[in-house]
């Protein structure tokens, strides 16, 4: 999907990280995925072979490995693709402000200096919070270029009255959120009511206005991969800018088989229409190794073009700490305790 060009081999950690970040972050704008009519025949034709999906995922570790300078570069890239998230019942303005400080300076300066990338202005992809914390996050991130995402529409259950869910989207956009993570009614998927799901997501997209919409499918509660595929397609037809695996509150959250199914629906839509839709795995991605597995899968299924914040995000809170530990090991040869890393 992406044209490959020959590049000279880098000879330092700085050059590897720098070229990796720059090559995968083109500066051209993306046309936004439009709302189009629901093609129910196409949706119902979707079937997923579970065993084939699991075999494809099982083959990933043996197909690609990244080590040393390349691994450090991929982990730095993963940081730029992260929605640094706090969605706890005890969130306070001070907690959110500290999270925003970390979002703007996600890696300790001494590590960045040692890798020769301190000049790159590394930040995360966004900060994700509840609606009540949007004004605090917007104020804390002012001038940084880091967007604020708000979870909405009765997160995490998605069972609030429709009028209330729409009002919540509008309120978050007015408060300064430029990205809205909406929750679908999982019951529409489980009962096969695809028209209702389409109408719901379409109404959410219209309420978002210029704010980009990430559609949370709650895949751990959709029963089958075929349901995941059909829900993904309906959401994309209804105008999703991103499709997202989970709220992080389900018993099972982001898994690679689910991600593979969603990625292939995204690829199919792109090949048919030319419109690129983003993918956001969220929930349960806590280690650098897990992040690398997701990056490899996306690179192989969608291409390098998708490895940028406009088209791929991790929904994460604990992930950043483990990535920073791995970067410290790269620099010093020693693993640090998690408490040595600044608060994510």
Residues with catalytic function: 181, 244, 280
Distance from chain centroid for Cα 65: 22
Residue in 4, 69, 106, 146 with CA at minimum distance from that of residue 323: 106
309: number of Cβ within 10 Å: 18
273: number of Cβ within 10 Å: 14
Helices (H) and strands (E) counted in the chain, each on its own, are 14, 8
Query: Can you tell me the distance from the alpha carbon of 253 to that of 219, in angstroms, rounded to the nearest whole number?
Result: 7
Query: Can you tell me the distance from the alpha carbon of 312 to that of 295, in angstroms, rounded to the nearest whole number?
Result: 9
On whether the CB atoms of residues 214 and 33 are closer than 8 A, the answer is no
On whether the CB atoms of residues 56 and 255 are closer than 8 A, the answer is no
| Paired tokens of 135 | 């004004």
| Paired tokens of 303 | 């291409």
On whether the CB atoms of residues 80 and 124 are closer than 8 A, the answer is yes
Identify the bridge partners of residue 215 per DSSP, sorted by sequence position.
182, 243
């Amino acid at each position: 999907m992406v044209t490959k060009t020959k590049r000279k081999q880098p000879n330092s950690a700085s050059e590897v990280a720098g070229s990796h970040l720059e090559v995968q972050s083109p500066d051209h704008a993306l046309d936004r995925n439009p709302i189009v009519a629901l093609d129910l025949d196409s949706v119902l034709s979707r079937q997923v072979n579970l065993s084939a999906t699991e075999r494809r995922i099982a083959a990933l570790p043996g197909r690609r490995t990244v080590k040393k300078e390349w691994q450090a570069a991929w982990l730095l890239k993963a940081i730029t693709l992260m929605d640094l998230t706090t969605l706890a019942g005890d969130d306070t303005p001070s907690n959110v402000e500290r999270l925003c400080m970390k979002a703007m300076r996600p890696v300790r300066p001494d590590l960045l200096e040692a890798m020769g990338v301190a000049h790159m202005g590394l930040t995360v992809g966004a900060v994700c919070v509840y609606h009540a914390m949007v004004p605090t996050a917007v104020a804390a991130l002012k001038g940084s270029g880091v967007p604020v995402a708000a979870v909405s529409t009765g997160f995490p259950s998605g069972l609030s009255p429709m009028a209330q869910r729409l009002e919540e989207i509008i309120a978050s956009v007015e408060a300064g959120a430029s990205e809205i993570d909406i929750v679908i009614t999982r019951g529409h998927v489980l009962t096969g009511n695809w028209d209702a799901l389409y109408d719901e997501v379409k109404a959410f997209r219209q309420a978002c206005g210029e704010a980009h919409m990430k559609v949370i499918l709650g895949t751990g509660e959709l029963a089958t991969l075929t349901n995941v595929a059909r829900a993904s397609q309906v959401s994309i037809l209804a105008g999703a800018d991103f499709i997202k695996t989970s709220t992080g509150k389900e018993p099972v959250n982001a898994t690679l088989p689910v991600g593979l199914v969603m990625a292939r629906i995204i690829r199919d839509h792109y090949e048919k229409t030319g419109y690129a839709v983003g993918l956001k795995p969220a929930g349960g991605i806590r280690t650098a190794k897990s992040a690398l597995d997701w990056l490899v899968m996306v690179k192989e299924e969608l291409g390098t073009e998708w490895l940028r914040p406009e088209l791929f995000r991790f929904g994460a809170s604990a992930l950043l700490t483990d990535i920073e530990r791995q970067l410290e090991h790269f620099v010093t040869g020693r693993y640090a305790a998690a408490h040595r890393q600044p608060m994510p």
